[in-house]
Structure 1
Amino acid sequence: MTGLGYTLPAVLAVLAVCLLEIAVFRTGLFRRPAYWISMVIVTGFQIPVDGWLTKLSAPIVLYDNRQTTGIRFPWDIPIEDFLFGFAMVTAVLMLWERRKPRPAAKEVKQ
């Protein structure tokens, strides 16, 4: 079966990180413009670097096409790389937010 070696873990990583954020950690990361701006910045750097590493004309990193969807965009970058990148950066930011000290709850006077 094609695509399971790299595509399936990439999709599962995205699903796991999203479920952790929505159901467990609830940091509000996905509602913050700063998160989405940071993802644009990360992608802006990922494209030229990953494109250089995976260009089919002179690849530095090789992929077994039987283990991916075969979709490469832009500059020969396997789309699975973007899924893993999203999951990794989101997981780090989510855990970072989770570790931030929270303000103490105000005491209710009776």
Structure 2
Amino acid sequence: MGEYTVAAVAACLAVVGLELGVWRTGLLRSGRYWGTLAISLLFMVPVDGWLTRADATVVHYAPDAITGLRVPWDIPVEDYAFGYALITLTLLLWVRAGRGAADA
């Protein structure tokens, strides 16, 4: 497994572990959280798809650093994992700072 894959999986596990084991904000049970992820995905797919498209790649990945699984439009699955971890960590920090409610 490549280093980008390992880092992406580790980031997801760390963020989920932080929420479930330490902070326990309830964010992962919130409908608004899952709605936010869905909206983020709607924007991420076209942008990331454009950046990683096969005919004119802007962002290049070392083949041995990723799994090679790309869906859709040549987007590496690791990008979804990192996106999930970054969005979730940001929202967790927002809730922890008292600026958002996780219970809706």
Cα RMSD over matched residues? 0.9
Deviations for 1:57-83, whole angstroms, at most 9, x for unmatched residues? Answer: 110000011110000000000000000
Where does residue 102 of structure 2 map in the other structure? none
Amino acid at match of 1:49: V
Deviation at 1:5, TM superposition (A): 1.7
SS at match of 2:3: coil
In structure 1, distance between residues paired with 2:2 and 2:74:
19
Deviation at 1:4, TM superposition (A): 2.3
Compute the TM-score of the two structures, normalised by the length of structure 1: 0.88
Higher helix share goes to which structure?
Answer: 2
Where does residue 20 of structure 2 map in the other structure? 22
Where does residue 38 of structure 1 map in the other structure? 36
Where does residue 69 of structure 1 map in the other structure? 67
Structure 2: runs of 5+ lacking an equivalent: 100-104
Larger-Rg structure: 1
Q: Pick one of 13, 18, 35 that aligns with 2:11.
A: 13
Q: Pick one of 65, 87, 100 that aligns with 2:98.
A: 100
Runs of 4+ in 1 over 2 A off after TM superposition: none
Where does residue 90 of structure 1 map in the other structure? 88
In structure 2, distance between residues paired with 1:57 and 1:14:
30
In structure 2, distance between residues paired with 1:65 and 1:89:
26
Deviation at 1:25, TM superposition (A): 0.8
In structure 1, distance between residues paired with 2:96 and 2:2:
32
